[in-house]
Amino acid sequence: MNIVDDHNPIEHFQKWFHEVDTAHPEDEINAMLLSTKGLDGFPKSRIVLLKRFTWEGFIFFTNYNSEKGKAIAQDSKVSLLFNWTRSNREILISGKAEKLPENLSEGYFESRPEGSKLSAWVSNQSKVIASRKILEDRLKEYETKFKSKTIPKPDYWGGYIVKPSQITFVEGDSLVRINRTTKYKLQPDYSWSKDIYYSK
Ligand SMILES: Cc1cc2nc3c(=O)[nH]c(=O)nc-3n(C[C@H](O)[C@H](O)[C@H](O)COP(=O)(O)O)c2cc1C
């Protein structure tokens, strides 16, 4: 079992991310479950991809008009869950989601392949589309519109950074079936408290 001595959960995250990526490079380890308080009051979860993490938080990109975008506008408190089953590890993050500054979303959008850029224009996330044909027609329309041109970022598309207030690392030990949990909590002076405990 790995013991991390530092008091910084982002360093702890970085270490685990690297270890899991090295052990299982074929897994999509940046897939995380984003939970919001749903518009109907029930919690709602869906998978999004972690694209960057910094000392400040965890970044993903989406359609701001999607259901998750509307839910975050109503209540910015969210959780993120990484479940790395093959490494017996999970990480639960609680924090507040903030929109990234436009220039950072634009910078990331520019780095995306053309197909992904077009898909941001084509898809009406969270809305029912009557048929696949409608999507195909819309794709053709935008391919023609942006032919030989730089594809701009739609206004409604961009990133969120989830700034954590609590990060919990859980590592299962399959031999003795006991979990080692390390819980970090952000303190009023912006330092992190750290507690380690074992549970079944
Ligand atoms: C593997 C995988 C990765 C995904 N990554 C993203 C993502 O990075 N951003 C995103 O907006 N939706 C992503 N989705 C789609 C979301 O899970 C979700 O269906 C969509 O964003 C609509 O969610 P909402 O209606 O709750 O807003 C992904 C889905 C899967 C299966």
pLDDT 10s digits, 143-181: 899 988 899 999 999 999 999 999 999 999 877 788 999
Cα 190 to ligand 1 centre (Å): 31
Instruction: For ligand 1, atom 10, name the residue with the nearest CA.
Output: 62
Structural domains in the chain plus CATH codes:
9-109+158-199 (2.30.110.10)
CA distance 162 to 95: 6
Closest by CA to 30, choosing from 72, 82, 90, 100, is 82
Report the nearest atom of ligand 1 relative to the CA of 66.
27
- The per-residue pLDDT for 74 is 96
Q: Which atom of ligand 1 is nearest to the CA of 36?
A: 26
Choose one of 36, 42, 44, 46 to mutate for the ligand 1 pocket test, by most ligand atoms within 8 angstroms of C-beta: 46
Residue ranges in the chain whose pLDDT is less than 50: 1-5
Q: What is the pLDDT of residue 20?
A: 96
Residue 123's pLDDT is 77
The pTM of the full predicted model, rounded to 2 decimals, is 0.92
Question: What single-letter DSSP state applies at residue 190?
Answer: S
> Strand 178-186 and strand 157-173: pairing?
antiparallel
Separation in Å, CA 69 to CA 16, 62, 78, 151, 160: 29, 8, 11, 23, 9
CA of 200 from ligand 1 middle (Å) equals: 32
Question: Buried (b) or exposed (e) across 160-195, using 16+ Cβ within 10 A?
Answer: bbbbbebbbbbbbeeeeeebbbbbbbbeeeeebebe
Say what the pLDDT of residue 6 is: 67
Q: Whose CA is nearest to atom 14 of ligand 1?
A: 48
Residue 2's pLDDT is what? 47
Q: Which residues line ligand 1 (CB under 6 A)?
A: 31, 44, 46-49, 60-63, 66-68, 125-126
